């Protein structure tokens, strides 16, 4: 146990937790952990090193040797992510990388390899941790736990608009199907399924602006 405060923000893909985590960390002057990026980084590193996703031992080696750094960015931008000194912020945010990360995340040996890596981000003055099992597994003693959610339809629409702005043509129906499939896989996996911690405060962001969601999270965190 440690006195360094942690605010965990868990929830499904597209719930807005990444944006909220960055905004909250910036407001409080806390460190930031995008735990989902670690699984994406493992998937990307495995691909770069020619490690098959069925090779669990190989994936564990990759996860255990990740050279990762998160760098703050201006408001509204994702955190800058470095892998072996290489900026991979865009590379890990593709749909393909997300799907591969979800496949990697169900493997308990890989999760074990990354568990201590995640806990090492807990440094003074505090940490805001974004993920799917931050409050249930990684930081069960966190004094503030948020579970941020939104309807699958709204999350698909948000992703659709992001991709359109990036010049990527996609089908919103396909995105909705992918989100529902990922939700089902994440909620029903044997290892650390996606669910709110028993002492988490659940916030539904459906129909809310990012600023309104931040206000709700700040209030729930005792920072309003």
Which CATH number do you get for residue 167?
3.40.50.300
Number of domains in the chain: 1
Per the listing, tokens 């709700």 go with: 216
**Is 58 inside any structural domain?**
yes
SS3 209: coil
pLDDT tens sequence across 82-108: 999 999 999 998 889 989 998 998 899
Residue 56's domain comprises 6-218
Query: What is the torsion angle, in degrees rounded to the nearest 10, for the CA atoms of residue 180, residue 160, residue 133 and residue 151?
Result: -60
* Contacting residues for 35 by C-beta, under 8 A, at least 6 apart: 118, 129, 130, 131, 132, 133, 134, 138
The pLDDT value recorded for residue 54 is 92
pTM as predicted:
0.81
**Is 95 inside any structural domain?**
yes
**Is 223 inside any structural domain?**
no
pLDDT tens sequence across 153-199: 999 998 898 888 888 889 999 999 999 998 888 888 877 788 999 99
**Is 98 inside any structural domain?**
yes
The CA-atom distances, in angstroms, between 95 and each of 1, 8, 142, 167, 179 are: 37, 24, 31, 14, 10
**Is 49 inside any structural domain?**
yes
**Is 1 inside any structural domain?**
no
**Is 224 inside any structural domain?**
no
């Amino acid at each position: 146990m440690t006195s360094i405060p942690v605010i965990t923000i868990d929830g499904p893909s597209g719930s807005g937790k990444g944006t909220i985590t960055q905004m909250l960390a910036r407001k409080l002057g806390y460190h930031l952990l995008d735990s989902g990026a670690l699984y994406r980084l493992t998937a990307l590193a495995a691909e770069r090193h020619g490690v098959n996703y069925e090779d669990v031992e190989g994936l564990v080696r990759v996860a255990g040797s990740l050279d990762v750094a998160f760098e703050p960015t201006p408001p509204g931008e994702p955190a800058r992510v470095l892998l072996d000194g290489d900026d991979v912020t865009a590379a890990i945010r593709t749909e393909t990388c997300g799907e591969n990360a979800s496949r990697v995340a169900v493997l308990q040996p890989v999760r074990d390899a990354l568990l201590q890596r995640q806990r090492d981000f807990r440094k003074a003055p505090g940490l805001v941790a974004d993920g799917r099992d931050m409050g249930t597994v990684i930081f069960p003693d966190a004094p503030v736990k948020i579970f941020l959610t939104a309807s699958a339809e709204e999350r698909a629409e948000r992703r659709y608009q992001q991709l359109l702005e990036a010049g990527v043509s996609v089908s919103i129906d396909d995105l909705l199907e992918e989100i529902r499939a990922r939700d089902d896989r994440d909620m029903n996996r044997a290892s650390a399924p996606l669910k709110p911690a028993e002492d988490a405060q659940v916030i539904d962001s459906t129909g809310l602006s990012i600023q309104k969601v931040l206000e709700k999270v700040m209030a729930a965190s005792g920072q309003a």
